[in-house]
A = this chain, B = another copy of it.
Amino acid sequence: MNQTLTAEVTIAVKFSEVDSLRIVWHGHYVRYFEDAREAFGLKYGLHYLDVFGAGYVTPIVKVTCDYKKPLKYGEHALIRATYVDTEAAKLIFKYEIYRAEDMALVAVGETIQVFLEAENQQLYITVPDFFEQWKIKHGLK
């Protein structure tokens, strides 16, 4: 039975993130996704530094973002990252961004990461041992 692994972070919209339309510039949502992915990593032991310590880096190979509503200065964003399990040697997260004030859905998105050996930057096409262990530990196997 698979678990749903998820982490959330709430942030205040920054003045420097808002564009001349007085809404968060769309490119910043990619960083919001990263904020939630980092919160996930800290919560479940899959932080960039954990992965690096195991000898891997996990560059992003795909980002998708669908924008539903604007976010304004003075508002807060709740960003949720949910782990999506796959047999492939990939790390997939889905994201939802909500306006924290009323929990209106602001955006949804997805990222896909692959595993490279940190030392030689070679793509790792099977699931690395450390990640198999991580899956077992978190009830995904």
Q: How far is the CA of A73 from the CA of B41 in the complex (A)?
A: 14
Q: A19 contacts B18, CB within 8 Å?
A: yes
Q: Mostly helix, strand, loop or mixed at chain A's interface?
A: mixed
Q: Mark A59-75, 1 if CB is under 8 A from B, else 0.
A: 11111111100100110
> What residue in chain B is nearest A66 (Cβ atoms)?
B62
Q: Find out whether the CB atom of B67 lies under 8 angstroms from the CB atom of A64.
A: no
A27 CA / B26 CA spacing, docked (Å): 11
A14 vs B34: C-alpha distance when bound (angstroms): 8
A8 within 8 Å of B by Cβ?
Answer: no
Contacting pair A73 B48 (CB below 8 A)? yes
Q: Which residues of B contact A65 (CB under 8 A)?
A: 62-64
Minimal beta-carbon separation of A105 from chain B (angstroms): 13
Partner of A48, one of B15, B47, B59: B15
**How far does the alpha carbon of A61 sit from the alpha carbon of B12 in the complex, in Å?**
22
Is A21 a contact partner of B66 (Cβ separation < 8 A)?
Answer: no
Chain B residue contacts of A23, Cβ below 8 A = 59
- In order of increasing CB-CB distance, the 4 nearest A-B pairs are A27-B30, A26-B60, A20-B22, A18-B20
